[in-house]
Structure 1
Amino acid sequence: MHAFRSHTCAELNKSNVGETVRLSGWVHRVRDHGGLLFIDLRDHYGVTQVMADPDSPVFAEIEKVRSEWCIRIDGNVKARDESLINPKIPTGEVEVFIRDIEVLGAAEELPLMVFGDQEYPEETRLKYRFLDLRREVMQESMKLRSDVVASMRKRMWDLDFREYQTPIITASSPEGARDFLVPSRLHPGKFYALPQAPQQFKQLIMVSGFDKYFQIAPCFRDEDPRADRSPTDFYQLDLEMSFATQQDVFDTIQPVLQGVFEEFGGGRKVDAEWPQISYKDAAKWYGTDKPDLRNPIKMQDCSEHFRGSGFAIFAKLLEQEGTEVRAIPAPTGGGRKFCDRMNKFAQGEGLPGMGYIFWREKTADAVAQELGIKVKEAQAKLKSGEVEGGMEAAGPLAKNIGPERTEAIRQQLGLGVGDAAFFLGGKPSSFEKIAGKARDVIGQELNLIDKDRFAFAWIVDFPIYEKDEETGAIDFEHNPFSMPQGGMEALEGDPLDVLGYQYDLACNGYELVSGAIRNHKPEIMFKAFEIAGYGKDEVEKRFGALVNAFQYGAPPHGGCAAGIDRIVMLLADQQNIREVMMFPMNQRAEDLMMNAPSEPQNEQLRELSLRVIEQE
């Protein structure tokens, strides 16, 4: 027999009854039933119930066993009584009577329990991650992650892509975040960098004549942490293609990701239609460039209904250039309590409030006022059907702008009795983000979001440049390596009108993919950087490898990268990316288990010609 096991803790069933077996694993739970000891023995694959009574030759040793001890047992497989069968586990029809036991690793008092669903502080969970990872939910999440990566690899190979590895120690290459620098021992005073992404290398692979590249690539960025972002490192499915258009990239990555979500989504619906929405429209309709399309709310410009109206705040606002009033429809939100709650939300976001209108059945008071009769008479006419009630608009805004304008707004937004609309005004850049948050909150509170669905959208036509409101200087708003739509000709006009062949893929409110068709022509690249204030010499210094390579017959090329951690987070139905990473950092970019970052030894600093200057 094998030294540690003849079977895993998920293999035994009725067919094994009568056999002598050997199992190894962790003590998941101990139950003492008055002289009968039951142990749920757990390994990576499952759980088997093992048991002993005073007749067992090792009963005294078994009594000493505690949770999370690692043990080996030998015993006989027995069938459970019909009434004791556990249909929830594969081994639920049998149990093993223990004849021998060996403690492979005893456990001290546990800082966190593996059995059960107790909540522990994240700091405790990360410090004792090796225990935290023993929990079933974590085991399943890590298996899911591994399976997703394997599926991605297979799907990419099936599309005739090959995987090529790019360097981990390289030169600093600005990708929009801070580099992690690595001092060079052989070249004192000089530094390597950990790659923020394999961006330049994968483009150089295309220039080298390789038609299709992909990689499950580690990326390193010194960033501020968020729930959906690691502060140090992450993995992405990175791909690049030669002689490819934007649509070619979309057509390549969609079946890969759609297949992964269908395979591992647990039966949730995966949209097959992935609309392409311009960056401008995404901001206008959803207040974000990563919209959650499970939420049916689509914001609209309602400026014309408030221009010259009795609501002075919006009317005066609209006299200023570049301002507008945007409406957020709220189907089924037509109650004063809900409207007041949303108004309070806006105040919590730093606004004075949020205007609203809601539509309700016309009251007897309103009918009496319209017909010039008493309220009791109006009530009687409504009850008898002599007068139709219809609907009325309510709320402070409705009173200010009057019934004609409120009716025009209602018709534009497609709303009816029991619905509401909220309004924000000003320069879109000042309120779009809050409008997007309000849209999310409204969708959640009114249960408008289909939570059993993955809804995707390509966000396209990103502007390449932006203007600093204070200085008036032009700089890159997005990826400076994107090919401008219209090429060199587009760069001759107003920089703020230049759009790039750049795109993101949003799913359920998260950005999953980012990519672009690359600017592979040196003359266009120099011009693009010149507009943003970067001279030719600086471009050659900072991006010398690309500039040099592009002078030797570079093919048109493009690609994208999909965030694996974020994809698994969605598939696992988790809200925090650390739940799907094996050994993540905490919010302060600290590894509490390995005690990193740590202070270097003086000898290490001397070898690297470095000196640490104390912070004041």
Structure 2
Amino acid sequence: MHAYRSHTCAELNKSNVGETVRLSGWVHRVRDHGGLLFIDLRDHYGITQVMADPDSPVFSELEKVRSEWCIKIEGNVMARDESLVNPAIPTGEIEVFIRDLDVLGKAEELPLMVFGDQEYPEETRLKYRFLDLRREAMQENMKMRSDVVMSMRKRMWDLNFREYQTPIITASSPEGARDFLVPSRLHPGKFYALPQAPQQFKQLMMVAGYDKYFQIAPCFRDEDPRADRSPTDFYQLDLEMSFVEQQDVFDTIAPVLAGVFEEFGGGRKVDAPQDWPQISYRDAALWYGSDKPDLRNPIKMQIVSEHFAGSGFAIFAKLLEQEGTEIRAIPAPTGGSRKFCDRMNKFAQGEGLPGMGYIFWREGADGMEAAGPLAKNIGPERTEAIRQQLGLGVGDAAFFLGGKPKAFEAVAGRARNVIGEELGLIDKDRFAFAWIVDFPIYEQDEESGKIDFEHNPFSMPQGGLDALNGDPLQVLGYQYDLACNGYELVSGAIRNHKPEVMLKAFEIAGYGEEEVKSRFGALYKAFQYGAPPHGGCAAGVDRIVMLLADQQNIREVVMFPMNQRAEDLMMNAPSDPTSDQLMELGLRVIPQD
């Protein structure tokens, strides 16, 4: 028999009755039934009930055992009485009578309990992550994460992709976030960087003729944390392909992700990839107030400026006299009560707005009537035109925001989400995907008038070099994101592989030829030697698992995450370097005031 176990704590069943077995694991729970001791013994695979009475030679030792002690037992498998069978676990038909006990590791008083569903402060959970990870929910999350990665790998290999590894220590590259810099000992005063993504390397692989690449890639970005984003590092399914157009990338990655969500989504509906809509960036901002819309929510916002221009509602009428302003409506099916409208008005005030105009429709003495301050100010004809445009009726409402779209779109998007949630309009049993396409390449600073990149500077502009000779603000890129349930899961682009187009694109944003060659020298140089058209994308593994596990915070699906301050409370990182380390690197720390 093996030194520690003949079986795992999930293997034994009625067929093993009468056998002598050896099990090792953690004491999940101890129950003393007046002379009978029962222990739920837990390992990574499951739980087995073990027990002893005063006739057991180790009964007195067993009485000292406490929760989370690591023990080894040897004993005889017995059938449980039919009335005591536990159908909830695979080992529920048997129990093991303990003949021998060996304590492998005692546990001190626990800072958090593994048994049960108690809530603990995040600080405690992260400081004692090794205990937190023993909990059943965390074990299931981490197993799912591992299985998802395995599934992704298999699906990519089945599509004739090969996995190649790219460097972890590289040069600093401006890709939209702050780098983590690594000082060089051999080159004092110079720094490497941890890669924000394998972006340039995978493009160089395409130039090198490797056609199809993928990698489960670690990425490092010094970012402010959010519930759906790690502040330091994350993993992505990274891929690149040669001789492809945008639709080819969609047709490659969509079935992979759809398959993963069908496999691990717990039966929730996954729309077929051919049914995933392609929505322009501008339409997404207009209809949903976000470039990562939650399409489980059926609400679609509309422009209703014409109904308020020159109307009796002076606030909107005067606003529309200013250039670049508009009024948008958020339909609220079934939201037609003053109580709900007042609640949404309060939400708007919490977002820093004076309020949110509204109209709701109800049964009146002479049929349907519009109610609310806006209805009185703009009159019945305009109100009716708004109702018909939005397709609303009795019991429905509409909310209105105005100004320059960029100033209120985000608030409108959040209001749409709150309305959909509060009115029960969201289909919670579904994963709703949408491709967001036609991202603008440039934006203009309102104060300085300077043109700069709004999105990925390495995307191929639609129309190529000719498009760059017109109005920069009208130039769209072959850039795309995949949104699901309000989260961005995938980002990618068809790459700008032509040196002359690359130089012109950066010139518009104020980067001279020498600066481009200096900052992106490897790519620029490679493009001189027969670069193929290529494109790809990256899918966030952590975020995908978070959705599949039905979690609201990415730290629930990351094995050893940082806290909100980008600190590792368990390993005490970041930490102060020793004077010897600083001296060896030729560095000095300047105290901050």
- TM-score, normalized by length of structure 2? 0.99
Which of residues 309, 315, 318 is equivalent to 2:317? Answer: 315
Q: Which amino acid letter does the alignment assign opposite residue 299 of structure 1?
A: M
Deviations 1:321-373 (A, max 9, x none): 1111100000000000000000011111111110000000114xxxxxxxxxx
The 3-state SS of whatever aligns with 1:288 is: coil
Distance across 1 between alignment mates of 2:319 and 2:221: 42
Distance across 2 between alignment mates of 1:428 and 1:231: 30
Matches within 5 A, 1:510-589: 510-589=487-566
Matches within 5 A, 1:504-515: 504-515=481-492
The structure with the larger Rg is 1
Q: Which amino acid letter does the alignment assign opposite residue 363 of structure 2?
A: E
User: Is 1:443 equivalent to 2:445 in the alignment?
Assistant: no
- Cα shift at 1:235: 0.1
- Cα shift at 1:479: 0.3
Which of residues 265, 278, 281 is equivalent to 1:279? Answer: 281
Distance across 2 between alignment mates of 1:253 and 1:485: 22
The 3-state SS of whatever aligns with 1:459 is: strand
Distance across 2 between alignment mates of 1:600 and 1:8: 44
The 3-state SS of whatever aligns with 1:237 is: strand
Match of 2:568 in 1: 591
Distance across 2 between alignment mates of 1:192 and 1:312: 58
The 3-state SS of whatever aligns with 1:224 is: coil
Match of 2:581 in 1: 604
Matches within 5 A, 1:338-377: 338-363=340-365
Distance across 2 between alignment mates of 1:431 and 1:271: 31
Matches within 5 A, 1:23-422: 23-272=23-272, 273-363=275-365, 389-422=366-399
Give the alignment's Cα RMSD to 1 decimal: 0.5
Distance across 1 between alignment mates of 2:443 and 2:344: 32
Deviations 1:129-152 (A, max 9, x none): 000000000000000000000000
The 3-state SS of whatever aligns with 2:137 is: helix
Q: Which amino acid letter does the alignment assign opposite residue 496 of structure 1?
A: L
Deviations 1:85-141 (A, max 9, x none): 000000000000000000000000000000000000000000000000000000000
**Structure 1 residues 597-606 or 138-147, which shifts more?**
597-606
Q: Which amino acid letter does the alignment assign opposite residue 37 of structure 2?
A: L
| Unpaired runs of at least 5, structure 2 | none
Match of 1:380 in 2: none
Q: Which amino acid letter does the alignment assign opposite residue 74 of structure 2?
A: D
Distance across 1 between alignment mates of 2:310 and 2:580: 75
Q: Which amino acid letter does the alignment assign opposite residue 277 of structure 1?
A: I
Deviations 1:286-308 (A, max 9, x none): 00000000000000001111111
- Cα shift at 1:83: 0.6
The 3-state SS of whatever aligns with 2:571 is: coil
Q: Which amino acid letter does the alignment assign opposite residue 186 of structure 1?
A: L
Q: Which amino acid letter does the alignment assign opposite residue 391 of structure 1?
A: M
Distance across 1 between alignment mates of 2:139 and 2:46: 11
Distance across 1 between alignment mates of 2:360 and 2:134: 52
Distance across 2 between alignment mates of 1:100 and 1:4: 12
Distance across 2 between alignment mates of 1:209 and 1:173: 23
Matches within 5 A, 1:447-466: 447-466=424-443
Q: Which amino acid letter does the alignment assign opposite residue 184 of structure 2?
A: S
Distance across 2 between alignment mates of 1:175 and 1:536: 18
Q: Which amino acid letter does the alignment assign opposite residue 527 of structure 1?
A: K
Distance across 1 between alignment mates of 2:574 and 2:330: 46
Deviations 1:301-321 (A, max 9, x none): 011111111111111111111
Distance across 1 between alignment mates of 2:568 and 2:353: 38
**Structure 1 residues 482-491 or 402-411, which shifts more?**
402-411
Deviations 1:16-56 (A, max 9, x none): 00100000000000000001000000000000000000000
Match of 1:374 in 2: none
User: Is 1:484 equivalent to 2:461 in the alignment?
Assistant: yes
- Cα shift at 1:188: 0.5
- TM-score, normalized by length of structure 1? 0.96
Distance across 2 between alignment mates of 1:282 and 1:71: 57
Distance across 1 between alignment mates of 2:533 and 2:383: 52
Distance across 2 between alignment mates of 1:117 and 1:279: 42
Distance across 2 between alignment mates of 1:271 and 1:238: 23
Q: Which amino acid letter does the alignment assign opposite residue 480 of structure 1?
A: P
The 3-state SS of whatever aligns with 1:240 is: strand
The 3-state SS of whatever aligns with 1:433 is: helix
- Cα shift at 1:404: 1.0
The 3-state SS of whatever aligns with 2:360 is: strand
Q: Which amino acid letter does the alignment assign opposite residue 474 of structure 1?
A: I
Distance across 1 between alignment mates of 2:211 and 2:406: 41
Match of 1:372 in 2: none
Distance across 1 between alignment mates of 2:265 and 2:333: 29
Match of 1:369 in 2: none
Aligned residues with identical type, % of pairs? 88
Distance across 2 between alignment mates of 1:152 and 1:321: 49
Deviations 1:177-234 (A, max 9, x none): 0000000000000000000000000000000000100000000000000000000000
- Cα shift at 1:274: 0.7
Distance across 1 between alignment mates of 2:9 and 2:249: 45
Distance across 1 between alignment mates of 2:551 and 2:271: 20
